[in-house]
Structure 1
Amino acid sequence: MDILKTEAFLRLSAALVFVLAACLVRLDTQTKFIFFTERKITFKDLNGLQALVYAAFVAAGYNVLQLSRCIFFVSCFHGNLSKRSYRYLAWVGYLLDQVVLYLTFATNSAAVEQSMLVVTGMKEFQWAKWCNKYTRFCFQTGGAICCCFLACCLMAFTTFVSGFNLFRLYSPKKFLRLKNT
């Protein structure tokens, strides 16, 4: 029962941090006058940031759905669910946790890579350094990326708990019997 409460706490924390990161990136804009023209920069100017926003919102929604599952099991079954019926649900939850973790980590890494090109520029492709002109935008985006990495770490711990919930359903005696034959 305490494991479900721990999982619920981790899922709630991850969902909140994912929403925070997505909102920080989504609402981040900055306008500057450059060469007598007004230039506005948003998250839509970088494809990596767009993917980060969408993946973070999807991950937050997934964690809220799984959080409702945890609350439902704690309130309704009080741990009296048969192992056989719970085993399939545990496998689906574990595999979905893995998919969401890897998806968010991959999109966050892509956003970091693209953001580093914005910070350093690249003369070969004639990409200018944006962060010299749009410092507030870059700092806020960097903070959002750090929040998303924190949320990925929380999802990793959630995946550990989900894996523990799954593999505790298998008897070690039955496993050893299958292994020896």
Structure 2
Amino acid sequence: MAAGPPSSVRAERVLRAACAAMAAAGALLLGFSAQTKTVLFIQKKAVPKDVQALWVLIVAAAAAAAYHVAQLARCFCMERLAITGGGGGCRRLGRAVACASFLLDKGCAYMVFATTVAALQACFVGLLGVDALQWSKLCNIYTRFCEQAAAGMVCSLLAAAGMAVLSAFSARDLFRRPCSPEYR
């Protein structure tokens, strides 16, 4: 009977699945948040497209979720190849895949973190207002929208933190692979 994957591989899978779930939850919470209020017989609807940074975060979080689902599928396929004996191929290809995975994991973590922080900064204006510019506190009016946006940003921040840990897993995987003798 074949032994299961090492605990580090299982931990990476769980973390990838959690990152994909949190990024998808953040994108869905932000994407489907909307609230309509009537003020002086005029209906105004708050949607994420009103704040450009929220829209960018939705796209970035959705892309990150899709990337981590694809990486999770790659993890399962690589294990399947190793079990059936077809994975003993070229080491240089394995190192190239590990290098690409490391760079993409880092880029994904940075992208989600940067867009989440930008969205947080933009949403603080709606939360606190800016007296010098006479911008009112919009979260007093659109409470449900602001709460849903805050939950989406918390999910995105948790996903970004998990992605930072995943980039450490990718770095470990990359630097544990031996270099081919021709490059030494």
When normalised by structure 1's length, the TM-score is 0.89
Amino acid at match of 1:21: G
1:117-128 matched pairs, under 5 angstroms: 117-128=125-136
Q: Is this contact kept in 2: 1:4–1:74, CA < 8 A?
A: no
Q: Residues 60-80 of structure 1, C-alpha deviation per residue, up to 9 Å, x if partnerless?
A: 111111111100011112374
Deviation at 1:170, TM superposition (A): 3.7
- Which aligned pairs between 1:1-181 and structure 2 lie closer than 5 A? 1-2=5-6, 3-78=8-83, 80=88, 82-170=90-178
Q: Decide whether the 8 Å contact of 1:15 with 1:59 is kept in 2.
A: yes
Unaligned runs of 5+ in 1: none
Contact 1:108 1:149 in 2 (8 A): yes
SS at match of 1:38: strand
Shift of 1:82: 4.9
The alpha-carbon deviation at position 149 of structure 1 amounts to: 0.6
CA RMSD in angstroms, aligned pairs only = 1.7
Cα offset for 1:142? 0.7
Q: Quote how far apart the aligned CAs of 1:7 are.
A: 1.6
What is the alpha-carbon distance in structure 1 between the residues aligned to residue 78 and residue 23 of structure 2? 24
Residue 119 of structure 1 contacts residue 130 of structure 1 at CA under 8 Å; is this kept in 2?
A: yes
The AA in structure 1 aligned to 2:95 is R
Separation (CA, whole Å) in 2 of partners of 1:62 and 1:25:
19
Q: Unaligned stretches of 5+ in structure 2? A: none
Deviations 1:115-141 (CA, angstroms, capped at 9, x unpaired)? 101101112223221011111111111
Deviates most, 91-100 or 79-88? 79-88
Q: How many residues align?
A: 173
Does the aligned pair in 2 maintain the 1:5–1:70 contact within 8 Å?
A: no
Q: Report the TM-score, using the length of structure 2 for normalisation.
A: 0.88
Deviations 1:68-101 (A, max 9, x none): 1100011112374553331111001100111111
Runs in 1 of length 4+ with deviation above 4 angstroms?
79-82
Comparing 100-109 and 28-37, the one that deviates more: 28-37
Structure 2 counterpart of 1:156, which letter?
A: A
Instruction: Tell me the alpha carbon deviations over residues 17-52 of structure 1, each in whole angstroms, 9 at most, x when there is no partner.
Output: 111110101100111111221111011110110011
